[in-house]
Amino acid sequence: MFDLLMQRLRTRIKSSTFLIGSFLVLVMGLVGAQAQWYRQHHRYDQPQTGAYYGLVSASLASPEDAYSLYFRGTTVTRWYWRLPRNFAYKSLSLEWHRYGEQSSDGSASLDLPSFSYHAKGASGVLSRDLLATWLLGSTNLDSTNIDSARVEALFGYLQAAGRGTLPPPNHHGHSFGYESEDLLRGRIQHFRVGYGVGSYVYLWIAVWIIGNVVAARMNVIDRLRDGA
């Protein structure tokens, strides 16, 4: 009876030791596999799979600095099996400034793609005309063709944010209008943020599973031999 109890105890200790050791090997292997993936790729590369979200911050202005529009947005974090190339934003925070004799500024939150906005003491649907009022002022609505084109371009960036067609995420940002005669001068910083899982991690998990299956089968065989 005593021998049977000791045998069961040794079996449980052996099984517990195997499970703990196997788990530690799994964790160390995962860390090593992830580190190895990053060592073999460019520092700006990101794994194809992972939990990512988009972060955008844009500063857009007329070349004469008569008015400017700032917007910022963040998407929710999602798991991707394939690296996202762009992001569609559900909301943006807006801030605008008008300079000169009729200087003014304001801020609002914008829901996309509905274009519903909420500002201090006002809410509604943002249109091109309303955006022109914010930027140009109610007394300057008889704007020039160039101002109309600039407002249209600004509105287009807001549409692009909702459609997922902004300049894609990168680490250097997008600048325009500083060395050329563009409609607008500005900078868009668009980032893909999150934690990716390198392909070597999945390879290590497969190796770990196969190794555990082989070890389990060998353990069963050893038990059968001991019983015989």
Which tens digits make up the pLDDT trace of 134-148? Answer: 998 876 555 567 888
Range of the domain at 103: 49-197
CA distance 77 to 71: 20
- Yes or no: say if 93 and 72 are a contact pair by the CB < 8 Å rule: yes
Is residue 189 over pLDDT 60?
Answer: yes
Give the pLDDT band (50/70/90) at residue 225: low
Which tens digits make up the pLDDT trace of 82-105? Answer: 999 999 999 999 999 998 777 889
Structural domain includes residue 3: no
Q: How far is CA 83 from CA 49, 162, 183, in A?
A: 6, 19, 32
CA distance 90 to 98: 26
Q: How far is CA 71 from CA 183, 184, 215, in A?
A: 18, 15, 57
Number of H helices, E strands in the chain: 4, 9
Structural domain includes residue 10: no
Q: Check whether residue 69 and residue 166 sit in a common domain.
A: yes
Specify the number of domains making up the chain.
Answer: 2
CA distance 84 to 166: 13
Query: What pTM did the predictor assign?
Result: 0.84
Q: Check whether residue 82 and residue 135 sit in a common domain.
A: yes
Q: How many CA atoms lie within 13 A of 164 on its CB side?
A: 9
Is residue 222 over pLDDT 80?
Answer: no
Structural domain includes residue 17: no
Q: Check whether residue 43 and residue 55 sit in a common domain.
A: no
Q: Check whether residue 83 and residue 170 sit in a common domain.
A: yes
Angle between the 128-136 and 145-163 helix axes, to the nearest 10 degrees? 120
Give the pLDDT band (50/70/90) at residue 54: very high
